Structure 1
Amino acid sequence: MTLNIDCATCGAEAELYRGGRCMHCELNVVVESLLADPNTGKIAPELVAISEAMKNMKRANSGLTWIKQAHVRGFFEQLRGHGRVTHELLDSLPPSRTRDYVRGLLVEHGALPRHDLYRDRFDEWMPGAVARLDHPDDRDVITRFIRWHILRRMNEEGATSRGTFLRSKQTVTVAIDFLTWLRARDVFLEDLSQGDLDAWQAGGPTTRGIASRFLGWAIKSKLIDPDLRLTPHRRGTSPKLDAQAQTKAIDDHIQSTDLPVRHRAIAILLLVFGQPLERLLALTWDEVTIADDLVTVRLGGTSNIELHPPLDEPFRRLCGEPHNHQTAAHPNSNWVFPGYSPGRHLEPGYIAGRLRTTLGVRAARLGTLHELTKLAPTAIIAEVLGYSPATIELHAQGSAANYASYIKARHDAAPQ
């Protein structure tokens, strides 16, 4: 007896999945049936882009696993009856990871224009936050603050960054807490006194100083006495990795066999160059050069920085073994660290969580900047690493600012 292993649909010799079809042909059948309008048999023009992308996936099994999940099927059943799929239609559906992922696929494959992801997230978060205020007057004030201060700054920025999104949420949250605190003390905003502000600041964590952002707007809007003052939340008090701990952390991540290679690469850039995760994760292969004798990277500044052995090893491996390129999410990705959402790099929050077992991201970055100010004049460091001179100067003031050797020299001198 001869075993037939030829696909009944495409004729390819392959492992058969169902009905005599190979996995790729089965994926084609499932995609067609799920994305087509059951009444007309037609697929909306925008969904055709997803259909074609999934049919051409290198890893058909990943596509089948994803599209057969109940929540994914349910979502496409909501979409497929519409003649056109737009951002407005997606916005009208309940927020979910599946909605965001499908939107990302549509954008990545050119079916929809680019969308401001973090602005959308803020817009979805905002109504629930405002609703925490019981009194309509407080809700009116915070709504005006959001419209004329928070959203205006987002509009000026263009595409909202993750940092702006988190800062905006924190600013609004503290302002809401402040108004709630005043209401509990039976104090109207227009009657706010310096004594009230002093009591607010003394009675809670240092983050209460973030209310200064709201108070600044309230003064400009002539809602409160212009002479009132609140000590702003002070940055720069976070713990830093000292030089010894940094050295150990660098060695651990260079030598680790447990961490994924891209996590090691990210940790090295963080520990050696003190880059914010958001900027670091946005690296593209246009900014990283892999040559036989040298690896260079450009980190927001104007200069290419050399990564000598053993710092270069993770980047050589990443170049030779690209991640997340086998699915429809990243058909032509140029990200060094492509993420799980279509067309986007890895999320800083995700990476911070994954690295938490080996190092604290903020402490590592601040410690590195503290030590880097011992290497060269602040203006040079700022230019090379893409920081403002004022930022580097603050770190220089907090360090001994004595000359120290660069990481390459330390490794060159280490026993082999």
Structure 2
Amino acid sequence: MPSCRRCSGVRLNVDCIGCGNEDELHSGNRCWSCILAATVDRLLSPLDNQAPSPALQAIATALKAMKRANSGLTWIQQPHVTAFLQQLSAAPVITHARLDELPASRTREYVRGLLVEHNALPRRDELSARFGEWSDQALERITSQNHRDIIRRYIRWHHQRRMNQMDEVTQGTFLRAKQSVTVAIELLNWLTERDAELAEVTQAHLDRWQAEGPTTRGIASRFLDWATRTSLIDPSVKLQPHRRGTSPRLDATAQTELVATVSHTTDMNPRDRAAAILILVFGQQVTNIVRLTWDNVTVTEDLVSITLGTVEIALTSPLDEPWRELAATPTHYQTAAHPNSNWVFRGGSPGQHIQASTLTQRLSTAFGSRAARLGTLHELTKLAPVAIIAEALGYSPATIERHAIDSSANYAEYIASTATVKSGA
């Protein structure tokens, strides 16, 4: 059994001369925590020996309180992190605007996240802010002033307005907005090269532009729909919209085998197993999984349940096992990044959940998330009414209805082919 140095008979002195605790020593007879505290004070103190700003004091307190001091010391001693913190320590007041003036980097955003998570800066939607910064640069690529004004309106009154109405801008919304604006700019620059204004665009223009480029040019239909609603173009001109190919889905046999594998494997960590179960058993989208909080999950000695829609669903054994492990040992809890985080799937950025793309990539070694989700929904629609599935899993009835129709159509094709074979025999 673990025991103190005196009880174990160890004669080696491992008492820190700084704090007096019996601990692993780093250097100079001081423990990792004391070395981290001294390093933090040195880096975050202004050159004139004045006290650091209240914002930096909040970060300093958080870093010094880390349970895993070696991780904090490793991070803060990286040259680029050291240089950034020293630069920031010279600022008398730290705001989001002040941080935005500094060169964009992962370190800048990580420190911003720490400041927000420890209440030194107000929380803001970072993806919305990033879109605003990106769109300002995108406007510079437009070769016509008139077209630049149109895209500015499109950005402000369509994309940014929509983002402002959302509780949280998702990665998907952010990427679709960037893609829509990028393709719209390409179309307008193409028109400018042909001495045409958007108001003068004809069906011949659009047909030629679409025929000369990749299929993704069809994404410009989103911009043209907006232009039609705002009376900027003739409503009769249309693009062929961008169509994605038919997505593959896992069949029932593959789904069953994967559920059995994920339920018992030791090759995946509890977080990935828990996410995989939500996809394979309940057809959940990764973008929704990463936003789950512990308010959605109940773990007791007898039962593990999770609320995906409006219904609390019990997880039977062995599906509950990774959730019990995850509740007992949540990730990232020993650093300053997540002191009081309620996210089930905590990410590397302070106070943020894991990115959907990151989780998808992690799961890709075992299965394709989209194919598995579509396969699950396809099978579930055979087992229960649309309204019940939609309510339990948090989907809109229209979405589940589409899967149900597809499932029924496939079954009808099977019956028809069977009848044909019998009649032919």
Which segments of 5 or more consecutive residues in structure 1 lack a partner in the other structure? 404-416
- Aligned counterpart, 1:24: 33
Q: How do residues 7-406 of structure 1 correspond to structure 2 at under 5 angstroms?
A: 7-184=16-193, 187-234=196-243, 237-299=246-308, 301-400=309-408
- Aligned counterpart, 2:3: none
Q: What's the secondary structure of 1:399's corresponding residue?
A: helix
Which segments of 5 or more consecutive residues in structure 2 lack a partner in the other structure? 1-10, 412-425
Identify the range of structure 1 (240-249 vs 72-81) with the bigger mean alpha-carbon deviation. Answer: 240-249
CA distance in 1, matches of 2:296, 2:282: 15
Identify the range of structure 1 (223-232 vs 181-190) with the bigger mean alpha-carbon deviation. Answer: 181-190
TM-superposed CA distance for 1:78, in Å, is 1.5
- Aligned counterpart, 1:413: none
CA distance in 2, matches of 1:206, 1:274: 29
Identify the range of structure 1 (154-163 vs 254-263) with the bigger mean alpha-carbon deviation. Answer: 154-163
Identify the range of structure 1 (273-282 vs 171-180) with the bigger mean alpha-carbon deviation. Answer: 171-180
Identify the range of structure 1 (150-159 vs 229-238) with the bigger mean alpha-carbon deviation. Answer: 229-238
Q: Which amino acid aligns with 2:278?
A: L
* Structure 1 residues 401 and 294, CA gap change in structure 2 (3 angstroms): farther
Q: Which amino acid aligns with 1:361?
A: S
CA distance in 2, matches of 1:314, 1:207: 40
CA distance in 1, matches of 2:366, 2:194: 45
CA distance in 1, matches of 2:238, 2:409: 34
Q: Which amino acid aligns with 2:360?
A: A
CA distance in 1, matches of 2:409, 2:392: 18
* Structure 1 residues 35 and 277, CA gap change in structure 2 (3 angstroms): same
TM-superposed CA distance for 1:238, in Å, is 2.1
TM-superposed CA distance for 1:203, in Å, is 4.5
TM-superposed CA distance for 1:398, in Å, is 1.3
Structure 1 contact 57–326 (Cα < 8 Å) conserved: yes
Question: Percent identity between the aligned chains?
Answer: 58
Q: Which amino acid aligns with 2:346?
A: P
TM-superposed CA distance for 1:13, in Å, is 1.8
Structure 2 contact 296–307 (Cα < 8 Å) conserved: yes
Please identify the structure whose Cα radius of gyration is greater: 2
Structure 1 contact 374–402 (Cα < 8 Å) conserved: no
Q: Which amino acid aligns with 2:402?
A: L
Identify the range of structure 1 (377-386 vs 218-227) with the bigger mean alpha-carbon deviation. Answer: 218-227
CA distance in 2, matches of 1:306, 1:333: 24
CA distance in 2, matches of 1:158, 1:306: 28
Structure 1 contact 193–228 (Cα < 8 Å) conserved: yes
Structure 1 contact 285–334 (Cα < 8 Å) conserved: yes
CA distance in 2, matches of 1:260, 1:367: 24
Q: Which amino acid aligns with 1:394?
A: R
Identify the range of structure 1 (66-75 vs 158-167) with the bigger mean alpha-carbon deviation. Answer: 158-167
Structure 2 contact 143–192 (Cα < 8 Å) conserved: no
Q: Which amino acid aligns with 2:143?
A: D
CA distance in 2, matches of 1:11, 1:267: 46
- Aligned counterpart, 1:407: none
TM-superposed CA distance for 1:197, in Å, is 2.4
CA distance in 1, matches of 2:144, 2:82: 42
TM-superposed CA distance for 1:28, in Å, is 0.6
1:149-187: CA deviation from partner (whole Å, max 9, x where unpaired): 111111222432222212211211221232244345554
* Structure 1 residues 7 and 93, CA gap change in structure 2 (3 angstroms): same
CA distance in 2, matches of 1:43, 1:104: 18
CA distance in 2, matches of 1:162, 1:14: 43
TM-superposed CA distance for 1:102, in Å, is 0.8
CA distance in 2, matches of 1:365, 1:186: 48
CA distance in 2, matches of 1:258, 1:12: 38
Q: What's the secondary structure of 1:282's corresponding residue?
A: coil
Q: What's the secondary structure of 1:168's corresponding residue?
A: helix
Identify the range of structure 1 (10-19 vs 46-55) with the bigger mean alpha-carbon deviation. Answer: 10-19
CA distance in 1, matches of 2:377, 2:145: 46
CA RMSD of aligned residues (A): 2.1
Q: What's the secondary structure of 1:286's corresponding residue?
A: helix
CA distance in 2, matches of 1:305, 1:335: 19
Q: What's the secondary structure of 1:84's corresponding residue?
A: coil
- Aligned counterpart, 1:409: none
Paired residues in the alignment total: 401
CA distance in 1, matches of 2:245, 2:393: 19
Q: What's the secondary structure of 2:298's corresponding residue?
A: strand
Q: What's the secondary structure of 2:34's corresponding residue?
A: helix
1:189-221: CA deviation from partner (whole Å, max 9, x where unpaired): 222112332334444454333211100121223
1:215-258: CA deviation from partner (whole Å, max 9, x where unpaired): 01212232211211233334683222222222232223223222
CA distance in 2, matches of 1:235, 1:371: 22
Structure 1 contact 7–16 (Cα < 8 Å) conserved: yes
Structure 2 contact 210–217 (Cα < 8 Å) conserved: yes
CA distance in 2, matches of 1:262, 1:326: 16
CA distance in 2, matches of 1:171, 1:311: 40
Structure 2 contact 333–339 (Cα < 8 Å) conserved: yes
CA distance in 2, matches of 1:76, 1:400: 60
Q: Which amino acid aligns with 2:29?
A: G
Identify the range of structure 1 (289-298 vs 243-252) with the bigger mean alpha-carbon deviation. Answer: 243-252
Q: Which amino acid aligns with 1:279?
A: N
